[in-house]
Amino acid sequence: MPVTLEADLVVALSSRTLFDLEHSHAVFERDGVEAYSLYQIEREAEPLNPGVAFPLVRKLLRLNEGRERPLVEVILLSRNSADTGLRIFNSVEYHGLAITRAAFTNGAPPWRYVEPFGADLFLSADARDVAAALQAGYAAAALVPSAVAESPSDEIRIAFDGDAVLFSDEAERVFRERGLDAFQAAERSAAHEPLSGGPFKNFLDALQRIQAAFPIDDSPIRTGLVTARGAPAHERVIRTLREWGIRIDEALFLGGMDKTPFLRAFGADMFFDDQRGHVERAASAVATGHVPHGVANEAADEGNSERLEGAGQNP
């Protein structure tokens, strides 16, 4: 009988997010695929240094220690060939990561294997792969160069923006098309109408499945909603989560304030946001993924986007 994955959470990620492959990638960009292949083969006994996603992955895999059935499965989806991927697997073994499954696609889009592996989340450094995965309906983020320092705590802390990440971008469209006053009025009148789910709703569901296996006061995972919304736009968010039956451990309604110091105080191991401005600022403090989804990523005028963001409660 074929083996099936029984984990509550399956995370798929590229080798460039798990390990620091920026110098190797620069060789590829400058000298081409043959030079890159030779570079990796010559160094396949040299372990790679950790990348942006490494601390989070190590924490997630620790959840499996001492368990017959794993809570988490981590899969590598890489544009490397099997030949150049040997260095990746050697590095996995060197760092003691319990990762046994991978797809090496030799330059072809690896996100196609998100569905066969049943992944709840796809992390990549390639924005094209991320955009394609999101369009196909999967939770995906492009990890950006970030200030990453592994927390001394084993607790996993993951933070999310709200609109266009956990929720649809329906409210944000009102804000961008009609302004802050119209947005607040619309959210007040729709306070009892749940928002539609965004691309990361199912990933949050998967996290909650793991949380449910532990006492509420002793969970190894802590989630946070960090949104530029403020009152009166908070009520619809709270009621939406209640309708979904999903628990958020901490909810920060910042009313347009910079999210960065709050993410640092929360101690996020990873933060997901759809707006480039928030992502770029947050990356100075925590590992951050851009979710290129929704109206904020359709806008042609980035300068106008930043102007609206500075106006106040940009959701």
The set of catalytic residues is: 161
Are the CB atoms for 269 and 228 separated by under 8 Å? no
Residue 260 φ then ψ, to 5° = -55, -55
R_g of the chain, CA atoms, integer Å = 20
Where does residue 96 fall: left (phi above 0), alpha (psi -120 to 50 degrees), or beta otherwise? left
Half-sphere exposure of 208 (CA within 13 A, CB side): 14
Cβ neighbours for 292, distance < 8 A, ≥ 6 positions apart: 127, 130, 131, 134, 142, 274
**DSSP class of residue 112?**
G
Q: Which residue matches tokens 């956990």?
A: 166
| Whole-number Å distance between alpha carbons of 59 and 62 | 5
Q: Which two tokens stand for residue 203?
A: 């990933």
| Whole-number Å distance between alpha carbons of 51 and 231 | 38
Query: Of 135, 54, 141, which Cα lies nearest the Cα of 94?
Result: 54
* H helices present in the chain, as ranges: 15-18, 22-31, 33-42, 54-62, 82-94, 114-117, 127-135, 170-178, 180-189, 201-211, 234-244, 260-266, 276-282, 302-309
| Whole-number Å distance between alpha carbons of 315 and 173 | 10
Are the CB atoms for 229 and 285 separated by under 8 Å? no
